[in-house]
């Protein structure tokens, strides 16, 4: 396998890069001064692409790689992979499901707690010496709240399980009703938002879910509710979100993802009712290693003509 060329689109976990380089010939796209020229130069040597949530396998990249056979993405989400082009070219796709479910669900609850209890703002209050001048203001509890989940897949279910431990009431919206759960189902995201104190966005990003959280949903949530997004940035109409927060039509937001990462609207920076994270939902050593092992394991399986570990059907 050492001679098989693998194009790595972005710097990722060092362990992943080191493991790939010990087994394959790795081409580092991010180091190229002229990425298009770099790909053209090595196009006949590259048989696999390893991408992530920032740079995956676009139609343009796929078209420029005539020998491409497999895309092994270091993510669960596939929004950076052109699925139609892969299908057209009969290119195999693998991702890294399940192993990051717990981390992302943990972070969703962490964002809800941090936003409702204003943990980050309270931390700054102490560090700035403000506590010496008086007590911090009262905040809002999470326990017992109505939690709406947009997307009751692996991660959505894990969020629900954790929220139940806080005595929260769960309801959800998905493409269709699930019959393996008793949680109330809402076919309308707006209707779900109207009954939610906290709305957690956990669905995949597709053409259908782009801006699924729009002004109507934000207005349905209202000035006492909180939005938590651990899915993808473009699931939320960010301009409308900023307006709703600035105009106090929305109570707060806990955000791990943004529409134009790594750019974040500056209007959010000084808001005590907003918690901002740099897309770190699955960024723990343990999970990152598990994801890396899946990426490499899928490549090894493919080139050994063994069953793939996590194929995307």
Catalytic residue (choose from 232, 238, 240, 259): 232
Token duo for residue 216: 């109507």
SS3 109: helix
- Alpha carbon distance 189, 191 (integer Å): 5
Catalytic residue (choose from 69, 154, 211, 261): 261
Q: Is 36 a catalytic residue?
A: no
The dihedral over CA atoms of 109, 206, 101, 186, expressed in degrees to the nearest 10, equals 50
- CA distances in angstroms from 124 to 47, 127, 131, 142, 174, listed in the order given: 50, 5, 10, 21, 38
- Alpha carbon distance 251, 256 (integer Å): 17
DSSP H helical ranges for the chain: 14-23, 35-42, 59-63, 83-89, 101-116, 119-127, 154-164, 189-194, 215-221, 238-246, 285-303
User: 205 near 182, Cβ under 8 Å?
Assistant: no
SS3 97: coil
Q: Is 232 a catalytic residue?
A: yes
Q: Is 42 a catalytic residue?
A: no
Task: List, in sequence order, every residue forming a beta bridge with 296; answer none if it has no partner.
Answer: none
User: 162 near 107, Cβ under 8 Å?
Assistant: no
- The catalytic site residues sit at 232, 261, 279
């Amino acid at each position: 396998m050492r001679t098989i060329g693998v194009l790595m689109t972005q710097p990722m976990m060092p362990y992943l890069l080191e493991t790939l380089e010990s087994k394959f010939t790795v081409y580092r796209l991010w180091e190229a001064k002229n990425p298009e020229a770099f790909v053209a130069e090595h196009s006949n040597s590259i048989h696999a692409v390893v991408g992530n949530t920032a740079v995956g396998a676009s139609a343009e990249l796929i078209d420029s790689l005539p020998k491409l056979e497999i895309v092994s993405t270091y993510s669960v989400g596939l929004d950076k992979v052109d699925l139609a082009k892969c299908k057209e070219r009969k290119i195999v796709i693998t991702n890294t499901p399940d192993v990051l479910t717990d981390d992302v669900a943990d972070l969703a609850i962490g964002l809800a707690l941090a936003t409702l209890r204003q943990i980050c703002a309270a931390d700054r209050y102490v560090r700035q010496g403000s506590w010496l001048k008086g007590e911090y203001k009262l905040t809002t509890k999470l326990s017992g709240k109505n939690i709406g989940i947009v997307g009751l897949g692996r991660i959505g279910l894990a969020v629900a399980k954790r929220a139940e431990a806080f005595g929260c009431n769960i309801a959800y919206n998905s493409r269709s009703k699930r019959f393996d759960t008793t949680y109330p189902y809402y076919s309308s995201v707006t209707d779900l938002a109207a009954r939610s104190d906290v709305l957690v966005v956990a669905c995949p990003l597709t053409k259908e879910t782009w801006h699924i959280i729009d002004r109507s949903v934000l207005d349905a949530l209202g000035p006492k509710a909180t939005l938590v997004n651990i899915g993808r940035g473009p699931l939320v109409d960010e301009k409308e979100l900023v307006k709703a927060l600035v105009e106090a039509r929305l109570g707060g937001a806990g955000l791990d993802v943004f529409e134009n990462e790594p750019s974040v609207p500056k209007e959010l920076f000084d808001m005590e009712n907003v918690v901002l994270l740099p897309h770190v939902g699955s960024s723990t050593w343990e999970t990152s290693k598990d994801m890396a092992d899946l990426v490499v394991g899928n490549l090894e399986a493919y080139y050994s003509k063994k069953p793939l570990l996590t194929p995307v059907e």
